[in-house]
Structure 1
Amino acid sequence: MSKGDKAFVISKAATAGQVTISNAVFGRGTDFFCKDETVQRQGGVHVIQAFLSEEESEEIQIQGRTARQGKKGSFQLILLGFDLEEQFNLSIGWKDNVAKADWYDYLSAARKKRRILICEKIEENLSDATEKDRETHRYFDALLAQDKDAALICFKDIYTSFK
C-alpha cells in the first residue's frame, strides 16, 4: 500500500458510516484521529481485533487505537476458536472447561506459555549456532595454520553437524 493510499484509509477510518478493515500492521504507530462528532456522540471509534496477538504489548497498542487524545472509544476481541487451538496449541473444546469469565485470562496464559516456548527455542538455536560458529573458527584456524589433517577433521565435523 502506498503512503498516499494509507493516508487516505486513515483519514476515512474514523468517520460515521465507515467500516475499516486492516491488519495488525496498523495496530502500532497509526493514529486514527476521530474528528467526526457523530461518531463521538455514538461512543467513539470501536476497534474489533479478530486475532489474539502473540504479544500482550501489541494488543495494548491496538486497544490504544480507540480513544485517542481524550476522545471516546471502545475495543473488543472476536476470535475464531480454530485459530486459537492451532496458534496456541489449545485443546478442542477448551471453552467447555473454562468459565466464560476466565476465558481472557486463560488465553493470556496460553499466549505467555507460547512465548516462553518460542524464547526457549531461540535460546536453543542460539546455542547450536554458537557451537557451529566455534567449529567454523576451528576449521579456518586449521586452514590458516596449513594443518590439512586438522582441517579435514573440522570440515567433516561441520559437514555432519548440518545433516
Structure 2
Amino acid sequence: MKKIVFAFFIFCGFAGFAQKHVHLPHGMVFGHKPNGIAPVPATKIEDFMGKKIRQTTALTGTLIRVTKEKGGWFEMDAGGGKIIAAHFKNYNITLPTQLKGRGVIIQGVAQRALIADDMQHFAGDTVVGSKQHQEKVNPKARITFEVWGLMVDR
C-alpha cells in the first residue's frame, strides 16, 4: 500500500513539473529590437502610407492572435474591423500564444495587397474605369506586414 501511495505522489510531482507557464514581461523582444523609427499607431497605417505600395515603418497596436507559433505568424488589430496579417522575416522565431491581447511594437515592412488586373501583378490597388467595381479586394485584409522585430509593450 505504501508503494502505491509513493508512486502516486511521484507521478503527481512529474505532472506538476510538466506544466509550464510563460511569463511575458514588458520589454520582451522577439527578433531584432524595434528602434530608430518612431512607431505609428496601427489604426493609422493606411493614411501614413498614402499611395505607396511598400513602407518601412514601426507600428504599435494590439495583437489579436498568434495564428502559427513557428515562423511568428500573427494578426494585429488595425481598427475599424480591419486586420494586419503579419509574419517574421526570420522563420526561426517562435511566438508564444500568450501574446494574444497584448500591446506590441513591431518594426518591418508594411505592404498593400495587390490587385492582379489583367495579369498585371504589380498593378497595385489603383484600378479605375470600367473595371473599378469588378475587382474583389478584401477590405479587412488589405495590409500585410513582414516583421523584423517585435517588443511587448503592455
Establish whether TM, by shorter chain, passes 0.5: no
User: Which structure has the bigger radius of gyration?
Assistant: 1
Smaller-chain TM-score range?
under 0.3
Greater relative contact order (CA < 8 Å, ≥ 6 in sequence): 2
Normalization by structure 2: what TM-score? 0.22
Which structure's residues are more often helix, by fraction? 1
Which structure's residues are more often strand, by fraction? 2
